[in-house]
Amino acid sequence: MSKTMHRVLCLIIVGTLSLSAQNEPDGAMSTQESWGQSLPDFPKPAPEKAFAELKLVQPDGGVYRRPVEDWKSARQYVATNAAGKKWLNEQCAAIDAWMTRPRDRVEWKCGRNSAFVSPVDGSFLVWTEKIPGEEVKTFTSRTGHEVEITEKTFGGWVFKLREKHFGNILTAARLFRLTGDKKYADWAAEQLDFYADNYQRFPVVKVDNYNYARISGHSLNDAMYLSKIAETARLLFDWAGVERRQGWYRNFFKPEVELLDRSYQTIHNIAIWQRASSAQVALLYGDEEMWEREMNGQFGLRAQFSRGVTSDYFWAEQSIQYNNFCVYAVLPLLNFAGLVGKQDRIATEAALVQNMVLAPVMIRFPDGSLPNPGDATGVPYVKLGLFGDCARILPTTIGVLAQDALNWDTLVDPIRTEGGTTNLPDVVSRNMESARFALLKKGPWQVFFHYGQLSQSHSQSEALSWSASFDGIDISHDCGTVGYASPLHKYYYTRGLNHNVPLINGEGQAVWNPGKLISFDAAASVMSAEQPAYRTDASARRTMRIEGETLIDEVAVTYTGSGDARLGLALNLYGTPALPENFKPDSTFAEGRPKSFSYWKDVRSAGFKDRTEFEVTFKSNRNIAVAIIVPGPFTVYQGSAPDRPPQRKNSIYIETRGQKAVFVTRLTPVRR
């Protein structure tokens, strides 16, 4: 381990906290003094040179392209091109329909998107514009059942309404600039007037001591709305006139920025949105004091990137979903800065954002899916749309070809596609020490190893977990979680049983920890790491190696409490097992074990000594022989476990008793 990384991890360990706070409704921090305060600066020398083969260098030698806004050419295109005409008609029809009636009320209490879920299975609800309680009596889940309207679900509906409303306000302003039709400018400006005139009537929502909102139920959503409204005001700036636009600043923008400044004074994905949207306002109105505060404050945007982005260019909360979330938070600011000729003021951060977009490509699985550490609500994939969304300001060889869809960016600023390619770089074995990730790639096997965390925020009981593919076939992956307000999030998806991790008395990791990398040898295809404080009374070590066509996983656990413990290993495979005949139905599986075990169905079990082996059939009828080796007596349980609702998966749990145990799992393709 390098001296720099050793210093990084020592500083991180100082802030180590219990994982119990991970299960708050939004998966956020329990206190403002949580993990973000202890993150150090991650060295990132010469970020513009990283992933150079995928970047399109600009005339000034940098990677930050200055965007343009050519409304004249855009008008000509939609007037003469059939696809352009159709697209414009669809945009106008949608906004014309939205403008037909008032869409927001001050008295509506905005809630959380994470609360707009079914209490039955955690699936998200279907949003419609019909007003709950007035025009409809229930919600419908995406899995098809009716759900009661409650204060929380209504608040989630309001969140969706305002999200759509602010997006439509921005679209109306763009339609005005494109068509010249003043009805769109009038309506958009009237909406800004509404929020400016009524801003003080929206009560301050104190979510906790570091989280304040007015328009929404969370400071994150206020920041997201602010970004759209700031861009709307930019488009209407000259048309609105000095008095009207200054009224927006005085009565809405400035007090909203000051409110957001009271929130998330730490390193966090939400703080990125708050500082970036506030910096937009600063550029829009030329407020240098505000700019300095949002960019260079103790937890300003520069600190967010210095301390929140690892040397491997992953966001420190580890989730790829939140990594991309941070990218989208900064794009409007980067676009605005480029349009007004201020891109030199944020060029370093632009290069870091581009690297955050590219880094996940280097660890993708053959099917395009990405490793999924952290509590993301779904499985991430390499999405060309993200590269296309960045191409206007951060063009890559991938992104310029992903701009084939007609949207507002490509309409006003079509970019040249020279240098574009659909070829992605080969995935190779790599240790991403600063991110606590490692990857082995040998022959048909590709294995991702998540050996530790950098933060409590959005962490789960998943240290030492792994995901893998064989010959392009999904063997095991992290299925993500459901809406944070669902009991399934707290009691199943974030718990150890849902991950490929060791369990002590049914529970996985109890303390978030960066862990200790013991070895990584790409040539020998072996990687090993340990969690000395896996739980307060247990340690764990895992070694994974590829020998020929066999993936070998060895897990050692040590229990330091009194007496013997139930020592186990969860194994979540995306195939169908052909179990030995001695497996019998087991109705006692959840008895005496944590709540997570109660979510399994149709459990079967069988006892063994030293070893058992069976085949598992995966996609394309690929069979893998799974050998489980545990010295002494042990029990194997197999059942139907929750996957992405409403899907389920075939999962395995292995258990023995004692103070020490070693579990060896060998996965070998069956050649017939």
Q: Where does 309-377 have alpha helices with state H? A: 320-339, 347-358
Taking the C-alpha atoms of residue 536 and residue 595, their distance in angstroms, rounded to an integer, is 20
Two tokens at 573? 């495979």
Q: What is the mean pLDDT of residues 547-567?
A: 97
Averaged pLDDT for residues 592-603: 97
Q: pTM value?
A: 0.89
- Give the mean pLDDT of 91-98: 97
Angstrom distance (rounded) from CA 652 to CA 302: 45
Give the whole-angstrom CA distance, residue 283 versus residue 290: 9
Structure tokens at 537: 């009374």
| pLDDT tens-digit series, residues 253-292 | 999 999 999 999 999 999 999 999 999 999 999 999 999 9
φ/ψ of 305, rounded to 5, equals: -80, -35
User: Residue 113 contacts by C-beta under 8 Å, 6 or more apart in sequence?
Assistant: 156, 159, 160, 163, 221, 483
Mean pLDDT of all residues in 530-557: 97
With a CB cutoff of 8 Å and minimum separation 6, the contacts of 646 are 121, 123, 143
Are 293 and 300 contacting, i.e. CB atoms less than 8 angstroms apart? yes
In the chain, the domains with their CATH numbers are 3-30+425-669 (2.70.98.70)
Over residues 109-127, the pLDDT tens digits come to 998 888 888 988 888 899 9
Number of helices (H) and strands (E) in the chain: give both, helices first: 16, 21
DSSP type of residue 488: H
Give the bridge partners for 491, in sequence order.
Answer: none
- Mean of per-residue pLDDT scores for the chain: 91
pLDDT 10s digits, 376-408: 888 889 988 899 899 999 999 988 877 667 999
User: Stretch 53-65: mean pLDDT, rounded?
Assistant: 93
What pLDDT does residue 611 have?
98
Compute the radius of gyration of the chain from its Cα atoms.
26
What is the rounded end-to-end Cα distance, in angstroms, of the chain? 44
Number of residues in the chain: 672
Which range among 100-104, 249-253, 297-301 shows the weakest confidence by mean pLDDT? Answer: 100-104
477: phi then psi, degrees, rounded to nearest 5: -145, 165
pLDDT at 122: 84
Q: How confident is the model at residue 351 (pLDDT cuts 50, 70, 90)?
A: very high
Specify the pLDDT at position 3. Answer: 39
pLDDT of residue 8: 35
Between residues 32 and 130, which one has the greater pLDDT? 130
The arithmetic mean of pLDDT across residues 626-633, rounded, is: 98
- For the record, the structure tokens of 366 come out as 């053959």
**CB neighbourhood size of 170 (10 A):** 22
| Peptide bond just before 669 cis, omega within 30 deg | no
Q: What is the per-residue pLDDT for 39?
A: 84
CA distance 533 to 427: 32
Would you state the structure tokens that stand for residue 378, as one six-digit string?
Answer: 């779904």
% of the chain beyond a pLDDT of 70: 94
Rounded distance between C-alpha atoms, residue 502 and residue 163, angstroms: 41
Contacts 24+ apart (CB under 8 A), 60-64: 62/347, 62/351, 63/350, 63/351, 63/354, 63/394, 63/395, 64/334, 64/338, 64/343, 64/347, 64/350, 64/351, 64/393, 64/394
Q: Phi and psi (nearest 5°) for 602? A: 50, 50
E-assigned strands of 149-270? 205-208, 211-213
CB 102 within 8 A of CB 145: no
CA distance 232 to 467: 43
Q: Is 101 exposed, middle or buried (0-12, 13-18, 19+ CB in 10 A)?
A: exposed
Average pLDDT score over residue span 437-443? 97
CA distance 520 to 643: 31
Tokens representing residue 633 in the block: 């007596």
Q: How far apart are CA 281 and CA 253, in angstroms?
A: 7
pLDDT of residue 405: 79
pLDDT at residue number 35: 55
Which of these ranges, 155-159, 355-359, 540-544, has the smallest mean pLDDT?
A: 155-159
Predicted pLDDT at 25: 31
pLDDT in tens, 14-42: 333 323 333 333 333 344 445 566 788 99
> Is residue 210 pLDDT above 90, yes or no?
no
**How is 654-670 classified by DSSP, letter by letter?**
EEEEESEEEEEEEEEE-
Higher pLDDT, 617 or 455: 617
Q: Mean per-residue pLDDT for 200-220?
A: 90
With 60 as the cut, is the pLDDT of residue 496 above it?
Answer: yes
Q: Under a CB-based contact definition with an 8 Å cutoff, are residues 17 and 26 in contact?
A: no
